[in-house]
Structure 1
């Protein structure tokens, strides 16, 4: 390998290491946009929006606004090397197909997933190492965390629901009693029962999850632990996150 090629290869290797070292900046910028509800601010206005309009909706206090930092974040996400999250014409901003998934209070949203931070340490479950307890124990003690966690799981359930309803029609037509084990607050089971009214659905989960589950016609909520027993049924659904 010639000296020039070797130098270029080394520089490319350095670039790759720098990219891995600072790739966390992508998620940090995205997390700030979700927490500040910038996508929601733009969506609420209905038209392209200026940086000043975004800042005014974030804070009424002119003195506390840091538009320079906001501009840097927006510019960073607009020009993200893999997936731009905002369109920009001169000083006007608009949503992309990607940033629409960051809208809160929509049927299909990934925004709740960004509220969770991950702490990984050597040995044992990472969450338990970071918080001194299992995630289920924390959720049962902290209502706010319980709500955020349930919202995040509902995001995933919506995608699973669409796949089941589109590809498993024959199997569901013969089901009388369906139990969703670990069924969040009822997202998956309620959509299946809505599409197949003849099915009696059971949402089976831990007590602190069931306590936040809304009522839905055709769905019963049972609070218990699946490691102790699961209700008898024609069909049982259990989602596994790998």
Structure 2
């Protein structure tokens, strides 16, 4: 079929050009966010105790006077993006004054619900620059994007780079207060359980939160040796090193938080099969608890679906993926489970309970 490009109206071409430029410059969002966190601007405004003027901000940042205008331009863009709010100050009519928004309050380091480390980790140049190699990756049959750009499997890379390993584990735990807030109304998920294994549970942040609510629950964090070595537990929280593809310790329930999206369908089925073995015995049959995204393009608004699809594309770094309900159902049934239940957890996350 012949192209219709030459028959388009000028207004349609101009609109298409603007749309294309929008995609070209989309990286500016991430880079300005990274700049904001690196400059510690949310903490500066927070510590100021009230909205801060441009001149005060420039003074605290100790940037050259020639860059004051550049700071203003960056702050103007952050305000347009909803990360910062420009407010009016009657005493400073001729100067911009900045306040935090609900979003930028999540970037104030040292406070509850802080996600600044998530920005630092996910936008770290070592890993984020990998996405320049999508073309090369798409022609490789088995290699992940990180295999190509880092020269090794991601988990091997973390094992060989202690600082990246530390940052990754801390980042994976940085949303725990958000998860705790979400789980406040989901205690029914853990009630009646005597034991639980948190597969890929990192340094045990999630375990400590759950053990506070259920002090009689025996909680075992199961992760790579490099993650749990030298970690000390307590009466009801212990750490065990191992390989989830080999075997998983037995328990009433297995918890998988942000684990399965790292892996291909084939690997997820293997992991779930090991989980099924771990919760099934002659005495009782337990369950598997999954905390992940569930894409629902029909019911979600476009912005939420777009975010989930962006996160799905980001998982090519590991040959993993985000999944919709049909894809989750397929994995669950092929792993030998009989039924499942999906409950909303946060704006982004769902809680999936699956039963043998």
* Shorter-normalised TM range: 0.7 to 0.9
Which deviates the most, 9-18 or 50-59?
50-59
The answer for the alignment partner of 2:102 in structure 1 is 97
| Shift, 1:52, TM fit | 3.3
Question: Do the aligned partners of 1:180 and 1:238 also contact (CA within 8 Å) in 2?
Answer: yes
* Counterpart pick for 2:14 among 6, 11, 16: 11
The answer for the alignment partner of 1:37 in structure 2 is 40
Question: Do the aligned partners of 2:85 and 2:100 also contact (CA within 8 Å) in 1?
Answer: yes
Q: Which 4+ runs in 1 deviate beyond 6 A?
A: none
Matches within 5 A, 1:79-228: 79-80=80-81, 84-89=82-87, 90-115=95-120, 116-117=122-123, 118=128, 119-120=130-131, 121=134, 122=137, 123=140, 124-167=143-186, 169-211=187-229, 213=231, 215=233, 218-228=236-246
Q: 1:99 to 1:63 in 2, by over 3 A?
A: closer
Q: Distance in 1 between matches of 2:59 and 2:234?
A: 39
Q: Distance in 2 between matches of 1:96 and 1:195?
A: 31
| Shift, 1:58, TM fit | 3.2
The answer for the alignment partner of 2:68 in structure 1 is 67
Question: Do the aligned partners of 1:186 and 1:213 also contact (CA within 8 Å) in 2?
Answer: no
Question: CA offsets per residue over residues 16-72 of structure 1, 9 Å max, x none?
Answer: 01101111111111111111111111112222112233334334xx64873222221
Question: Do the aligned partners of 1:78 and 1:87 also contact (CA within 8 Å) in 2?
Answer: yes
Q: Distance in 1 between matches of 2:65 and 2:218?
A: 54
Q: Distance in 1 between matches of 2:111 and 2:169?
A: 15
Q: Distance in 2 between matches of 1:184 and 1:175?
A: 21
TM-score norm. by structure 2 comes to: 0.60
Q: 1:228 to 1:55 in 2, by over 3 A?
A: farther
Residue-pair matches, total = 232
TM-score norm. by structure 1 comes to: 0.85
Long gaps (5+) in structure 1: none
Question: CA offsets per residue over residues 157-182 of structure 1, 9 Å max, x none?
Answer: 44444444422x33422111111000
Question: CA offsets per residue over residues 187-227 of structure 1, 9 Å max, x none?
Answer: 21111111111101111111222247565552111122222
What is the SS of the residue equivalent to 1:236? Answer: strand
Q: Distance in 1 between matches of 2:60 and 2:247?
A: 50
What is the SS of the residue equivalent to 1:204? Answer: strand
Which has the bigger relative contact order, CA under 8 A and spacing at least 6? 1
Q: Distance in 1 between matches of 2:155 and 2:65?
A: 38
Task: Determine if the alignment matches structure 1 residue 20 to structure 2 residue 23.
Answer: yes
Q: Distance in 2 between matches of 1:161 and 1:197?
A: 16
